Structure 1
Amino acid sequence: MDRPQSDVLTATPFEIKGSMLTLLELRLHSTGLDAIAQHLAEKVAKAPGMFRSAPIVVDLQALGQVDGLDLAGLAAVMRGHGLVPVGVRGGSPALQAAAVEAGLGLLAAERRSETRPVPAKAAAAGGKTRVVTQPVRSGQQIYADGGDLVVLAAVSPGAEVLADGNIHVYGPLRGRALAGAHGDRTARIFCQCLEAELVSIAGHYRLFEELDPALRGHAVQVFEDGDNLMLQPL
């Protein structure tokens, strides 16, 4: 007897594939849970829609081998603000064990070069510039794998544009723009009209509410200078 077509289509119940996901990072510089909770509450209050049900990673790398952090308590605080903690990056063996016990995953440590920065175009080696001529609608994600991204139209609120290299937006930028998506800290964002929900270089981000009001609606470039995310008029 022939198997029903539906059974054939579902013979393999799932497949596991790599994907390019955008995750917020909570990069810790201290272990004081009360201070972290207060500062997080202030951040969420400025942009509640930005953080609602957003997956987030706790970056422990700056803490070195410090063990005194209540990870289960921190995860509870984040969930209380509507965030979804999914894992930790780095940290001491004791903190990684605590993360597993708290139901969090372990992510590979971020590789940061201690030598002279690689020129921005090096990130695009082997990758082509991706050019988008149509508006990027809410809910869409456009990614330039291994190269730069050029958008000749508007990026709507709720839309997301990512690139391993630089991002150029020639219409209003109202959604999220994440350049240097795989860690290139020399990448830049260039836009003709800055109204972004979020801009990010190599995971270092700034929210709309944190942008200088004098820059909103104007042509701006975004880049990293040391550990600072800089926004300057073009």
Structure 2
Amino acid sequence: MNAPTTRKGPQALDIKSATIYTVRLVLHSANTSELLEALQQRMEGAGAFFQGEPVVIDCSAIMDPIEWEPLLQALRHYQLHPIGVTGSTEQEQAAAQHGLTAVELSLAKAAIEIPEPEQTPPSPVTPAPLILHQNLRSGQRFVAPEGDLIVIGMVGHGAEIIATGNISVYGPLRGKAIAGANGNTNAWISTTEFEPELIAIAGVYSVIEDLHTNPHHKKPVLIQLEGDSLKFEPLG
């Protein structure tokens, strides 16, 4: 049995650049009850879209003190992971006492604005869908945060695709597909080769445990939401 290689001194580690993508939580109020109520409404409408994501809290528009502990507990309840804050020096110093680090806004990839005075229903159709010409393999995740997603290629086992609108896969769908992630019940999923691990529309999930007994296995199929259940229709 060979002994493990030992690298001493500076060779024991490398320093490389990395880009961290996070969700940006934009606060428009310092009132705790308003924030928690708005967060609940947003998370109920988003389904699993933001679950597991790191979060940077943007309180740059807030001058009043914020009760950090109940807000952080609520975020963790919804499986969000607060890691940083951006705002005034006073706000950042107060947040630091609760384990949040001051960060730059350029790290944020998506925004959840809280609270929003008027809620409008999501549009079922986006005029310019996001088109992905590649295969996605295990561990890869692709998100279309503002509309439809078209994948021309394979979504492999362990890969995940998410869209606020519809999802079309022109190839094998073997991983996870989540459409209508912002609560759009009119969204649908289609694929030319049905082999997924999990599909979801507007928070309604179906875990495919035994594909070989599924009547749509490896066939073109359209999935839509009908009431509180998913409806499968063969294509072509």
**TM-score with structure 1 setting the length:** 0.49
Structure (1 or 2) with the greater helix fraction: 1
Query: Which is bigger in relative contact order (C-alpha 8 A, separation at least 6)?
Result: 2
Bigger Cα Rg: 2
